[in-house]
Amino acid sequence: MERLKGKVAVITGGADGIGKAVSERFSVEGAIVCVWDVQHEKGLSVVVKISNNGGKAAFFQVNTTDFAQVELAARQVIDQFGRIDILINNAGITRDASFRKMTHEQWQQVLDVNLTGVFNCTKAIAPFMLDNGFGRIVNASSVVGLYGNFGQTNYVATKAAIIGMTKTWAREFGRKGVTVNAVAPGFTLTDMVAKMPENVLQSMKERVPLGRLATVEEMAAAYLFLASDEAAYINGHTLSVDGGMTV
């Protein structure tokens, strides 16, 4: 359908997992895809795949915790493609441990990537969108940000905070034609998750009313909807894509 035809999209963490699926789907829908990631080889691989399939993409090696790198990459995208229409704040990490065992380093690492990284990318890119009077920002939250999860104090804190930031930016940016929403994925069968022991995967499936894990393609479809013109009047919303876990 080419729902994103001609749009320029920045996708952080776009070299792997859900981010990779989003990059590939956005390209199919006509977007010029800018993959931002710290993983150089994987990032280039995504770009090559998109190019071989007739799409247009570019890779930028960016550590989103470093605002100087983010600001430079944003300027490079503008210089190369003229604008940025879509920002997918997808980059994230986990450093799981029960609260008593969690170190300050584990706490800070997750906050730096999952929260400060989102702030940095939005800080660098939102001004271009506001000046142009158009933009779609979609932030990656999580179902655990809605109901908590054992052993993930740091991760849950960031994903709950993302929901609050999304609502705040929706209020601040909306009058300038920029919508801000979030996706809260449930259990998703990424390559990393697929390597878990079968009994762990079965336990995860049993917690989902649909009885299975999501595919990365299903998650990409949710990001696509919120980034498309079809979602033009949706602003400040967190879309749970979890098979019913939060019912």
3-state secondary structure the chain: CCCCCCCEEEEECCCCHHHHHHHHHHHHCCCEEEEEECCHHHHHHHHHHHHHCCCEEEEEECCCCCHHHHHHHHHHHHHHHCCCCEEEECCCCCCCECCCCCCHHHHHHHHHHHHHHHHHHHHHHHHHHHHHCCEEEEEECCCHHHHCCCCEHHHHHHHHHHHHHHHHHHHHHHHHCEEEEEEEECCECCHHHHCCCHHHHHHHHHCCCCCCCECHHHHHHHHHHHHCHHHCCCCCCEEEECCCCCC
Give me the catalytic one of 147, 155, 223, 233.
155
147 is catalytic: no
The residues annotated as belonging to the active site are 155
